[in-house]
Structure 1
Amino acid sequence: MMALLSPPAFDDADLADVVLAGAGDRLAFARIVGRNIDALIRFAERMLGSRAEAEDVVQDVFLRAWKQTANWRSGEARFSTWLHRVAMTRCIDRVRGRRETSLDDISLLASSDMPPDHGLQQQSVAQRVQLALAGLAERQRAAVILCHYEEMTNIEAAATLEISVDALESLLARGRRALRAALLPERQSLIGDLT
């Protein structure tokens, strides 16, 4: 027999500002943007491989969020989780809208705008991992990015993807196996690059 669980209580840093923004308070919405923009851009950039595209997606996300704040139902998820869900959907739509990607195009997915304080070897490793991420199925890539890069809990990531925690863990396991398989031929050079 399954025990009924009460809905989790979410500690939502955006909730008070969402209520104010829903009533038309632009400063409250600016605070929401300030708290969430960096994480959303990082997420979208990893999903798309392009900073410019990520910024376009995030702008679209915030336009939609401004229109939806009056309708927000608290208690189901954090507002930031919903923002990530919208960003993920927009990223997947963009990826699907692209024509078939050639191997030359995939090399463009590697981030070439790494900060100058990173060594060339670390940049090379990051580019190889980014290419391997780009090769994952969309939902596997999203699960790996949310849990490993954005450091969401499995519960938060599952809510973002609108799936169960078990389904998320399955996506993560398949994504990790695929990454391991993609990077295995380069294992020695990757480890060598880090030493």
Structure 2
Amino acid sequence: MGFGRAASAPAPRAPAPAEAPASDDALLVLYANGDPAAATELTRRHAPRVLGVATRVLGSRAEAEDVTQDAMLRLWKIAPDWRPGEAQVSTWLYRVTMNLCIDVKRKARGGHVDLDAIPEPPDPAAGAAETLQNSARHDALQAALMTLPERQRQAVVLRHIEELTNPEIAGIMEISVEAVESLTARGKRTLAKALAGRREELGYQDG
């Protein structure tokens, strides 16, 4: 009996590629079909940014939390009717958030706005002096934002804090790109004037 060829050692199996995270569209479909984990993931992805935007626009953490909860509830309600590919979930949420903020401001017209209601969590790596300066910058920016007309404030928050593009903002605010450019330019000029006298105090560098 002849000797056969030695069996080759099995080639090492390539590691399975990491599974890509589900899209927002897919998660909404899963939620509509009864998967509560999909809602948890969507909340993790989007609720912090919704809260940040609402806080900047309203100047009140408590009101912003209410808006965030309402916006997410509205997302769950429309999940069964969501049409993947027609709009981004994030864009839809920004639009709903802005409309809810307008409603809140309309109801509270003439009321007092607490500008100190939004403490940012301090950076644990920052020293005490740096933490105080960061807090002062945040408070100064928030106070300056609250002096802007409502639509300017919304546009500035979306453009310069959320860093969305002008076409994205136009879709969210349901205005033209040219209107967005005008709102953000005027808002930025007003903010610059409001903060100009405090540049040294707040530690901003020229340039």
Using the size of structure 1 for normalisation, the TM-score is 0.81
- Does 1:167 find its partner at 2:173? no
Query: Corresponding residue for 1:109?
Result: 115
Cα separation, partners in 2 of 1:192 and 1:16, compared to 1, 3 Å: closer
- Which whole-Å deviations, capped at 9, do the CAs of 1:20-68 have from their partners, x for residues lacking one? 2233433222221121111111111111122221111111111111111
Larger Rg: 2
Partners of 1:152 and 1:192 lie apart in 2 by 24
Query: Corresponding residue for 1:33?
Result: 43
- Which whole-Å deviations, capped at 9, do the CAs of 1:126-156 have from their partners, x for residues lacking one? 2111101011111111111112211222222
Q: Identity of paired residues, percent?
A: 47
Partners of 1:64 and 1:160 lie apart in 2 by 16
Partners of 1:22 and 1:139 lie apart in 2 by 34
Question: Does the aligned pair in 2 maintain the 1:111–1:130 contact within 8 Å?
Answer: no
Partners of 1:190 and 1:54 lie apart in 2 by 26
Question: Does the aligned pair in 2 maintain the 1:110–1:128 contact within 8 Å?
Answer: no
Partners of 2:70 and 2:165 lie apart in 1 by 25
Question: Does the aligned pair in 1 maintain the 2:54–2:67 contact within 8 Å?
Answer: yes
Task: State the one-letter code of the partner of 1:173.
Answer: A
Shift of 1:176: 0.7
> Which of 55, 61, 64 is matched with 1:51 structurally?
61
Task: State the one-letter code of the partner of 1:152.
Answer: L
Shift of 1:166: 1.9
Aligned residues: 179
Partners of 1:146 and 1:30 lie apart in 2 by 25
Shift of 1:14: 0.5
Consecutive unaligned residues of structure 1, counting only runs of 5 or more, are 1-11
Partners of 1:20 and 1:186 lie apart in 2 by 50
Supply the RMSD in Å over aligned alpha carbons: 2.3
Task: State the one-letter code of the partner of 2:106.
Answer: R
Partners of 2:64 and 2:118 lie apart in 1 by 14
Query: Corresponding residue for 1:137?
Result: 149
Using the size of structure 2 for normalisation, the TM-score is 0.77
- Secondary structure of residue in 1 paired with 2:197: helix
Question: Does the aligned pair in 1 maintain the 2:199–2:205 contact within 8 Å?
Answer: no
Larger displacement relative to structure 2 (132-141 or 146-155)? 146-155
Higher helix share: 1
Consecutive unaligned residues of structure 2, counting only runs of 5 or more, are 1-21, 124-129
Question: Does the aligned pair in 2 maintain the 1:122–1:193 contact within 8 Å?
Answer: no
Cα separation, partners in 2 of 1:83 and 1:163, compared to 1, 3 Å: same
- Which whole-Å deviations, capped at 9, do the CAs of 1:98-153 have from their partners, x for residues lacking one? 1414xxx45x2145523244521221122111101011111111111112211222
Query: Corresponding residue for 1:121?
Result: 133
Shift of 1:185: 3.3
- Does 1:189 find its partner at 2:201? yes
- Does 1:146 find its partner at 2:154? no
- Secondary structure of residue in 2 paired with 1:19: helix
